[in-house]
Every structure is written in C-alpha cells, then in structure tokens.
Amino acid sequence: MGQKMELACIIDDDKIYVNLVRKIIEIKKLSENLLIFKNGLEALDYFKIILTNMTEEKLPDIIFLDLNMPVMDGWEFLGEFIKIKNQFDKKITLYVVSSSIDPRDLERAKSFNLVTDYLIKPIELKKFEKIFDRVASVA
C-alpha cells in the first residue's frame, strides 16, 4: 500500500452504510480524515464556504456520492458541483456509489465528465483499498 490519503468525503443518507465505510477506512487506514454529509445540499454548502474562504486544504481528494437522497439527490448535486468545480485548483476524484442497478442511472452517471466511475453497492473491501491507493498515489 502506498501513502495515506489526506481527506475523503462521503455524501450518503444511509447511516449504517456510512458507519461501515468509516470502519473500513479506519481499519485499513485508507485516509487521515473523513467528511460526511447526509445529502447533496449539505455537501454543496460546505464546498461553497470553502470557495469563499479560500481554504483549499479542506478539500477532499475523493468523493463518494450516493444518488438517492432527500432534499438534494446525487444528480442535483452533480449539476451544481459541476458549476463550481473548476474554481478549485485541487483535483477531486468523484465516484458515484449507488445500490441502483438501473442501466439508465449508469448511463446518466457516465455522461458526467467529472464522474470517474459508477460503483454498485456493496463495494468490496479490496476494491475500496484499490481506489484509495490509486487516488493517493496520483495526489
């Protein structure tokens, strides 16, 4: 395993899932810190605050974005995030993570340039490690 990632981000309303991913990250020592938002709007607000304060060190290296969430779902978040993303200097890798196996969702996710891949839940531990490893070595 290579170097450890600074900051990972999960946007998901499923508390159990978030808890389990947090455990995986702790056990496997995949990231120093973890940001958790329970819907798209909370995450978007956070990124907007960072933009106004110019504190880029608080930007995550990687985002795991769920699709079905209340208030602002993953699609709407993508639509908003795309508008502000270019104002960050830092490269942010974004994965869509959903339990939906609907091919229409898959197609739609892949149509966004900023989406690196579409991951279907459950993600295997080894896959998690691989993704973190790759992103950390690039960063």
Partner 1 sequence: MLNDLQLNNILEDFDIAYWKINLLTKEITWSDHFEALVGTPPAEESLFEHFINNVLHKDYRYDYRVAFENLTLGSENLNQEIRLKLKNDKFRWFECRNLKRKDSNNIETAVLLFVNIHQSKRDQYTIEENFFYYRETAEMTTTGGWYIDITTKSIYWDDVTKKILDCPKDFNPDYDKRLQFYASEHQEQANSIFEKCENYGIPFKTELKMVTLYGREFWVQATGKPVYNEEQQIIGIRGVLQNIDENKSNELNLQNSLDIIAAQNSRLFNFAHVVSHNLRSHSSNLSLVVQLLNEAKNSQDKIDLIENVEDISVNLDAAISRLNDMVSHQNLLKKERTLVSFKQSLDIVISSVSSLINRESAKIISEFKALKEISYIPEYLESILLNLITNAIRYKQPGRVPVIFIQTYSVNDQNFMEISDNGIGIDLDQYGDKMFGMYKTFHSNPDAKGIGLFITKNQVETMGGSISVTSTVNIGTTFKIKF
Site for partner 1, rule CB under 8 A: 14-17, 19-21, 23-24, 27, 39, 68, 70-71, 73, 98-102, 121-125
Which token pair is 111?
């149509």
Q: How far is the CB of 37 from partner 1 (least distance, A)?
A: 12
Q: Give 27 or 54: the residue with its C-beta nearer to partner 1.
A: 27
Q: How far is the CB of 62 from partner 1 (least distance, A)?
A: 18
Q: Give 39 or 116: the residue with its C-beta nearer to partner 1.
A: 39
Q: How far is the CB of 70 from partner 1 (least distance, A)?
A: 4
Q: Give 36 or 139: the residue with its C-beta nearer to partner 1.
A: 36
Q: How far is the CB of 56 from partner 1 (least distance, A)?
A: 28
Q: Are 116 and 95 in contact (CB under 8 A)?
A: yes
Burial class (CB in 10 A: 0-12, 13-18, 19+), 81: buried
What whole-number distance in Å separates Cα of residue 138 and Cα of residue 122?
25
Nearest CA to 136 out of 65, 62, 85 is that of 62
Q: Which residues lie across from 117 on neighbouring strands? A: 95
Q: Are 114 and 138 in contact (CB under 8 A)?
A: no
Q: How far is CA 68 from the centre of its chain?
A: 14
Q: Give 100 or 139: the residue with its C-beta nearer to partner 1.
A: 100
